[in-house]
Amino acid sequence: MSSYVYGKQEVTAWIRRYFRRNAEILDVGACDGIWRELLPEYPNMDAVEAWLPNADRLRGYRHVYRADVRSLPYGKYDLIIFGDVIEHLTVSDAQRVLDYATPRCRDMIVAVPYRFPQGAKDGNPYEVHIQDDLTPEIFAARYPGLAVLYDTGRDYCYYHKGGGAE
């Protein structure tokens, strides 16, 4: 499944404003590589993709980790993008993944749909929305360290931890 198009233009403009072209970026749940396509001028972009058929199709990344982020050790990045990832994890797994990422990046982007049930797609069990109950209030209660970066007004929002400005 591809990531939602809502807000991508505004968020990529924000990334370009606050991150130098040599920034180290990790795209978690890369799926079809939309962030790689949107930010071609950033050569130091790695990807994490758990569904191996998707990982095998990814192109243009410096490195593709064919792994589940819940068990992947990684180093420091300037920016970590969790584009449509958190809703696929249990609350405790998502909190643990974000807690692990927080000290390993200057900023992170977490994009989520609100109130959006979804099952497995094309045989991919990672597509199931476990947190299909998310609303702005529920997200804020579960992930209090994140602030709204861009609210699309379409039941889809981008959050970040802060610290992106150089």
Say how far apart CA 13 and CA 7 lie, in whole Å: 10
Can you tell me which residue has the tokens 């569904």?
A: 51
- What is the Cα–Cα distance from 14 to 18, expressed in whole angstroms? 6
Token pair of 61, please?
């990344």
Q: φ and ψ at 158, to 5 degrees? A: -110, 130
Measured CA to CA, the distance from residue 58 to residue 78 in angstroms comes to: 21
The pLDDT confidence band at residue 1, using thresholds 50, 70 and 90, is very low
Largest CA distance in the chain: 42
**CA separation for the pair 111, 95 (Å, rounded):** 14
Which ranges of the chain does DSSP label H, i.e. alpha helix? 8-18, 34-38, 52-57, 91-101, 136-142
What integer best gives the mean pLDDT of the chain?
A: 91
pLDDT at residue 144 is higher than 80: yes
146-to-59, 97, 132, 134 alpha-carbon distances in Å:
30, 13, 19, 14
Q: Which amino acid is at 134?
A: L
User: Tens digit of pLDDT for each residue in 33-59?
Assistant: 999 999 999 999 999 999 899 899 999
More confident residue, 64 or 5: 64
pLDDT value at residue 115 = 79
**Average pLDDT, integer, range 99-120:** 89
User: Which pair of structure tokens corresponds to residue 150?
Assistant: 């861009």
8-160 fold: Rossmann fold (3.40.50)
pLDDT tops 60 at residue 27: yes
